[in-house]
Amino acid sequence: LEGNLCRCTGYHNIVKAIQWAAEQMAGKK
């Protein structure tokens, strides 16, 4: 999964998405 995602969208985009999701989850709690 990781390899495919990195090749398709780019590593930086994944990092941004993870950070954004983490911030959203932290904000809701």
* Cα–Cα dist 20/14, whole Å: 10
Nearest to 18 by CA among 4, 10, 7, 29: 10
Asked if residue 24 lies in contact with residue 15, where contact means CB atoms within 8 angstroms, the answer is no
pLDDT tens, N- to C-terminus, the chain (29 residues): 555 555 655 777 888 889 999 999 999 76
Given the structure tokens 């398709």, which residue do they identify? 8
Predicted local distance difference test score (pLDDT) of residue 20:
93
> Domain limits of the chain?
1-29
Residue 10 backbone dihedrals phi, psi, to 5 degrees:
100, 140
Q: For position 15, what pLDDT does the model report?
A: 86
Structure confidence at residue 4 (pLDDT):
59
| Residue at 14: amino acid letter | I
Report pLDDT for 10.
Answer: 72
pLDDT at 6: 52
CB-CB neighbours of 16 under 10 Å: 12
Q: What per-residue confidence (pLDDT) applies to 3?
A: 58
